[in-house]
Structure 1
Amino acid sequence: MKVTPSRLAVGLALITAGCFSQAYGASVTDSYKQYQIASAQGDVQQALVYAKAAFEQGQTAYAQEPENRLNLNYNLALAYANAGNTEQAIEQFNNVVEQSESVFGKHHLRTVAAKLELAKLYTSPDNGLRQSTAIHKYKQISRELLDGLDEASAAHPDDAAQLYYLVVTRLLSTNTPLIANSGAINIVERGFALAITHWGEQDTRTLDQAFILGKRLFSSRDFSKAALYLNTVATTLDNHLAYSHPWSLQAHAMLSACYEQNGNAQLAAYHSDKIQQMTPWSEHQDPLPLMRQSPGYPHGADRKRDDATVTVSFDLNEKGEVVNASIVNIDGSRYFGDSALEAVKQWRYAPQIKDGQAVAATGLTVNVDFAGQSFYALNNIDWELGYHRRDDLFDSAAYRVVKKDSAK
């Protein structure tokens, strides 16, 4: 299965929703049809209205068909989530999980998919729960899924590759401290091996896990092993796409750092140049963040874990390297300034593209946040509980762009 741009665009949400495919046939209600139409048109409020109606009608129409009732409940939970009604979505997804365990079992693919949706909802700031409660529930579900992967794959061997893929990409794609990094690496390695067997080396699900594995090995400073997986990602995407995919560019950024750490200046320069020589997917592109060195807490502040925000301005050269970085403002202790500045200087971007060519970019500004206890991240959840070192994370919500025309 070759990699294509359309395959790379397929989201995990579609895969997860596919676990609850509908099978109503001729008995499908008009409300469900209207729900499908509204969902396809992106009208989330109308979709919710019809999902409610279909669910209520289905309690009678499918009284003896638990699977169809489960599907309707899943639609309702998803409609609440899409409409931004997080509290109601959590309530309904809890019902879905309970029903799915009853109908299919604790480790079935449908049950796992529903639990992942529920875990995701607990990362939303508007879930109606105290943050400590949300953290606890998120961790409880996530660790249960991670701990149960071997048992789930043994119970459902035909779905083993998909089970690992769903859990790995939802829970281990960032350096979240759910489990030790060594344990996470072991899980991703098993998922990657299953993906190779079931889908082949060039399937996007295989590459996705190779990319996660490469990033985690990189953060653990196992640069030689990280390079093996990152090269797989970069080479496959470069060879099969007519443009430079963001995964490939990130892989090249990390590969440059890997070879620099291992003393191979020639290969480090090669991968750095690949970023400057990128084939853009648009004639005009803003700079794209590839690798961001997370700032460490300055000496003394690490004990209190105080919050602080440092505003840093910088330029990018044609290679996407940070130049001319300087502190604009510090909201908090001045000791955070040097730490933020040194981190930003290590960042790497895909360069700005104008008329299809890489050019320098000036006047970029970001906020670097130091969060003392916990914060919500953009992708999955990135909890900081007490002292937890964050090495190289990617696309973290710790970096908020201030200006709309600056780096995203």
Structure 2
Amino acid sequence: MKSSVRFRHAVTVVTLSCFSLSLSLASLGVSASEFSQSYTAYKQAVAEKNNELVLKYAGQAYELGSVQFGPKSLDTANLALNYASALEAQDQKKQANSLYLLALASYQTGYGEDALEVLDPLIGAAQTSSEPKEAKSLFEDAIDISSDAENRILHADTLSAAFATLSKTRLYNRRIRNYALDAYEIYKEELPQDSLTRVKAAYIAGSIHFVEKKNSRAIPLLNEVVQQFSALSYTHPYELKAHAFLVELYEREGESDKSTEHCIAIGSMRPWLDAQEQMPLYRKAPKYPLSYAKRRKSGWAEVSFTVDEFGFVKEPKLLDSKGGSKFSDESIKALKQWRYAPKFVDGSPIAAESTVRIDFTIE
């Protein structure tokens, strides 16, 4: 028998990278031709950030170039990389993967299997592979190559790319988790504190420690994220999530006074709508009454309350319930420990009314 408590609220969050290699017209020895026109149009589309035209002309340049230079030439491999990158950006991963692998074979023949030049097609092929084991193998080759390079940022970028892809697969393990932590340590040594790359890496490392409940490691990393993003004129998703994590971390530590500033920060990040429902940042699950669980008894409680200007729950009152008074009692007891982002009006936090229904079910 399994009992559960379900809340009618949810919050989530999200990340993506790619590598590309451009082709120098000077190396082609081509004058005004159909190919050079397509390639020039491709470069113009890249400059204008017109993704549809980038895809169109990258494809044209690759098809024409493969005829002009031969399917196994490095020039054709360069064009294949450009086209693969454009396809990947449009989420056409299967076709992109074939082109990355084609370019990889040419690069390994032309530069050697351990050359730095093969990193781009290696990582591209790994990121677009539909087979996690193949992606893992390709990333391991890329990491081996980048680890021998003098450029430590390049190695950190490779580790970060491997984590971003492999952490979403069934192969995720401690080694893959360490890719992100090792990348952050390199960025911390090599990049200034306000580097966006370093801040994002700090967020990922902090998130890992948050999930693993390593509070003392997560808190300074997420505070670093908040500190750097606070200088921006807009709200970055990582800043919002870092504040939310810090609310829960400080509540775990029993330091509600420290979580308050993060509740307020979240509340101030966006304009409130009059009918907007408030979402809990920290929830303490109610205890399932043991006597009810033994009897396989289910029910629910709907409670109204005030979220004060510091994000604390005040004056919870039962509106309706089903299944027994113990469900209501446990709901109110738990709600008193929840934390919310306070509602803001004209730039200042105010107390606001909210409601929640808590379901108790036996699965």
> TM-score scaled by structure 2?
0.63
- TM-superposed CA distance for 1:44, in Å, is 5.5
Distance (Å, rounded) in 2 between the aligned partners of 1:215 and 1:167? 17
What is the rounded CA distance, in whole Å, between the counterparts of 2:74 and 2:266 in structure 1?
Answer: 49
| Residues 295-374 of structure 1 aligned to structure 2 (within 5 Å) | none
Contact conserved, 2:125 with 2:138, CA < 8 A, in 1? no
Distance 1:92 1:153, change over 3 A: closer
Trace 1:2-401 onto structure 2 (pairs within 5 A): 13=17, 16-17=19-20, 20-25=21-26, 27=30, 29-39=36-46, 47-59=54-66, 61-62=68-69, 66-82=73-89, 85-106=92-113, 111-122=118-129, 134=130, 137-145=131-139, 147-148=140-141, 151-158=144-151, 160-169=152-161, 171-172=163-164, 176-180=169-173, 182-238=174-230, 240-276=231-267, 278-280=268-270
Query: Over aligned residue pairs, what C-alpha RMSD do you find?
Result: 4.6
1:267 to 1:154, Cα distance in 2 relative to 1, 3 A:
same
Instruction: Measure, in 2, the Cα distance between the counterparts of 1:320 and 1:108.
Output: 55
Structure 2 gap ranges (5+) = 1-14, 284-304, 317-334, 357-363
Identity %: 22
Amino acid at match of 1:206: R
Aligned-residue offset at 1:40: 5.2
Distance 1:321 1:12 in 2: 36
Say which structure, 1 or 2, has more relative contact order (CA 8 Å, 6+ apart).
Answer: 2
Alpha-carbon spacing, 1:216–1:50, altered in 2? closer, same or farther (3 Å) = same
Q: Is the 8 A contact 1:230 1:255 kept in 2?
A: yes
Deviations 1:301-350 (A, max 9, x none): xxxxxxxxxxxxxx99788999x9xxxxxxxxxxxxxxxxxxxx999997
Report Cα offsets for 1:261-301 as digits up to 9, x if no partner: 1222221223222222x344x898x99999799xxxxxxxx
Structure 1 residue 205: deviation in Å? 1.0
CA distance in 2, matches of 1:232, 1:100: 40
Bigger CA radius of gyration: 2
**Letter of the 2:261 counterpart:** Y
**1:169-203 deviations in whole A, cap 9, x for unaligned?**
563485654332x4344322321122123222221
In the aligned structure 2, how far is the partner of 1:121 from the partner of 1:283?
Answer: 40
Q: Tell me, what secondary structure is at the counterpart of 1:273?
A: helix
Q: Which amino acid counterpart does residue 155 of structure 2 have in structure 1?
A: L
Q: Which consecutive unaligned segments of at least 5 residues does structure 1 have? A: 1-10, 123-133, 294-314, 325-344, 365-408
Q: How many angstroms apart in 2 are the aligned matches of 1:272 and 1:289?
A: 11
Question: Would you say how many aligned residue pairs link Structure 1 and Structure 2?
Answer: 294
Residues of 1 paired with 2:115 and 2:277: CA distance?
Answer: 42
Provide Cα deviations, 1:202-233, integer angstroms capped at 9, x if missing partner.
Answer: 21111111111000111111111111211111
3-state DSSP class of the match of 2:19? helix
Does structure 2 conserve the Cα–Cα contact (< 8 Å) formed by 1:287 and 1:353? no
